Chains A and B, each alone.
Chain A
Amino acid sequence: MPLLTELTAAVAAGKRTDTVRLTQELLAAGLAPQTIVETGLVPGMAIVGDKFKRNEIFVPEMLVAARAMKEALKILEPLLALAGIKPKYTALIGTVQGDLHDIGKNLISMMWRGANFAVVDLGTNVSPEKYLAAAVEHKANIVGLSALLTTTMPAMKETVRILKAANLPDMKIMIGGAPITQAFADEIGADGYAADAGTAVDIARKLVGAAA
């Protein structure tokens, strides 16, 4: 359907006005909101993620694309709610205890929403107990831990330990942040490490079994 292809391109280019217009036109043409999300908007953000990973675009372009998608979702989400349709996967995200940094967390959050995850943002300075309680409450598929400071890496380790000990079914833990490496993720038993916001989508999709 050409309009869906146009919508994907509009999101990828961060064209907010076009994205809203095309979303409305697709609804008027009778397309289901879920189809518009899954085959119009999400592929647009996937293009953004891929280009970001390759340094073909940068954070500003990613932000305007995410904003375009958000505007479309403002139209679609009430309709999805009416039909009882929710995103298939839920992701929690927060900055670990002792750390107030939030830029990285916010970018990942935006990209996960763009990949049609329901995202619960726990904020900053999140204790292990708060992560665990939220993971249980929301039946999280992904729990994302962010850290900027080398001094808060032990808090990340402790959070992973507590989450793993709870042995929640279908919950995977991802970590990221400036001082974090794959080696550290392996050392503390995290299920995934994301080096950037684009990769965070790939890893999350892979961990929940949604990867193409």
Chain B
Amino acid sequence: MKTISMTGCERVNRMFARQDQDRIPRCDSFWLETIARWQREGLKGDYHDVMLRLGSDFQSLCWSWPCPFPGKREILSADSETETVRDAWGGVARHWKARSGTPEHISFGCDSREAWETIYRPAMLAVPLQLDITAALQAQREGRALGRWTHLTGVEGFEALRRLIGDETCLVAMIEDPEWVRDIVKVHTDIVLRSFEALLAGGVKADGLWIYGDMAYNHSTMCSPAMYRDLVWPAHKRMADWAHARGQRVIYHTDGHVREVLALYIAAGFECLQPIEAKAGMDVREFAPLFGDQLAMFGNIDVMKMGTNDLGIIEEEIRTKFAAGMATRGYAYHSDHSVPPQVSWATYQAIIGFVERYGTY
């Protein structure tokens, strides 16, 4: 089917409504090193230019991840490659100085319920608005000028919990002190929604809410579906309800294997799942027929296959997954994580060509 060209905003809204689109919506993420490699290989411009070339349909207006000590960044030690930093969450982590990668978490300032109740909870509640209304309005103008679908972006309670108190304390507390977990998740969610309200009161208008929260790894969710339902899901539903009450659609981001909680996501009001990590066994070809009428699929193009730079393998990946996703009219392009530096600029330009060829209705 060939239709008139649509704006990104129309395209994404029609994807959510499972209505015909001219082509699938598009977006992607890249490592810093990937863009640097591509610049060496002939890319003129930067990340934003790649997104324009891809034809990205999405525009973020803000990034909400409330912390107790905004702006704090104390370098405790450094070597030639890394630096150890006490950060705005009160934790200490070792980061790469000049490359991408997950940091090594050395300690967490908020390591007990007492620390939460006496220091961190009051600090988080005392911090004024952590979002920049002027910057959000500017991003909104830019997004509208490009016809893009605009969205608020915020981190959800589970990710915030892990960042604040660390994986081990967090996961043990889910069993031994669930009330503490509920409280952190609730306080975080309160602040995020209050921040979004302030943006809207300041004149920001968003088409949707994109919620970030990694709650799984390669083989399963970090906690059981029942524990997720009990401790975190109510906050997820609250965020989705908040967005729906303001006419916004909801995208949920998580890495990892989340097959067993897809029904809970749908029940929470999540309408789109992103990025659907292939190496965690997630496959749009399996999920689209099962869940595609209720949950749009956004991504799943395997970065490991991209990294082979074998165009035959990559084309097959894109062709088959697009076919499955597009059959529901509820599919958008994104890599299944973020494009790594093994992918050459020539390969990514070919990928854009495949996205165009197979992603047109």
Contact = CB atoms under 8 A, between A and B. Distances in A.
Nearest to B168: A63
Interface stretch (B53-61, B63-71, B172-180, B242-250): B172-180
Contact of B172 (A55, A64, A100, A124): A64
A100 B342 contact: no
B244 to A, nearest CB: 30
Contacts of B234: none
Interface of A: 14, 55, 57-61, 63-64, 67, 95, 98-104, 106, 123-125, 148-151, 178-179, 195-196
B342 A150 contact: yes
A101 B176 CA distance: 26
Nearest to B225: A58
Interface in B232-280: 260, 279-280
Counting chain B CB atoms within 10 Å of each CB, which of A57, A95, A99, A178 scores highest? A178
Q: Most A CB atoms within 10 A — which of B95, B171, B260, B280?
A: B171
Which 10 interchain pairs have the tightest Cβ spacing?
A100-B104, A60-B171, A101-B102, A124-B104, A58-B224, A60-B174, A60-B175, A150-B340, A58-B223, A196-B219
Q: Give the interface SS of chain B, mostly helix, strand, loop or mixed.
A: mixed
Interface of B: 33, 81-82, 94-96, 101-105, 167-168, 171-172, 174-176, 217-224, 227, 260, 279-280, 303-304, 307, 340-342
Nearest to B167: A103
A178 B223 contact: no
Contacts of B168: 63, 106
A59 B257 CA distance: 14
A58 B222 contact: yes
Contacts of B340: 149-151
13 contacts: A58-B222, A60-B222, A64-B176, A99-B102, A100-B82, A100-B96, A100-B102, A103-B217, A106-B168, A124-B94, A150-B342, A178-B280, A195-B218
A60 B177 CA distance: 12
Contacts of B167: 103
Nearest to B33: A151
A179 B338 CA distance: 13
Given A58-B220, A100-B102, A101-B102, 16 more contacts: A57-B224, A58-B221, A58-B224, A60-B174, A60-B175, A61-B224, A98-B101, A100-B82, A100-B94, A101-B104, A102-B104, A102-B105, A103-B217, A125-B82, A149-B340, A178-B218
Contacts of A59: 171, 222-223
A195 to B, nearest CB: 6
A123 B280 CA distance: 25
A96 to B, nearest CB: 12
B222 A178 contact: no
A81 B308 CA distance: 51
A100 B103 contact: yes
A151 B341 CA distance: 8
Contacts of B82: 100, 125
Nearest to B81: A125
Contacts of B219: 55, 195-196
A30 B33 CA distance: 61
A105 B256 CA distance: 17
A185 to B, nearest CB: 15
A150 B304 CA distance: 8
B307 A150 contact: yes
A100 B176 CA distance: 29
A100 B340 CA distance: 17
Nearest to A198: B219
Nearest to A154: B342
A113 to B, nearest CB: 14
B34 to A, nearest CB: 10
A61 to B, nearest CB: 7
A37 to B, nearest CB: 23
A100 B33 CA distance: 17
B175 A14 contact: yes
Contacts of B280: 178
Contacts of A178: 217-218, 279-280
Contacts of A63: 168, 171-172
Contacts of B341: 151
A101 B105 CA distance: 8
A113 B205 CA distance: 53
B172 A148 contact: no
B304 A179 contact: yes
A60 B223 contact: yes
Contact of B227 (A58, A95, A104, A124): A58
Contacts of A101: 101-102, 104
A122 B279 CA distance: 27
A47 to B, nearest CB: 17
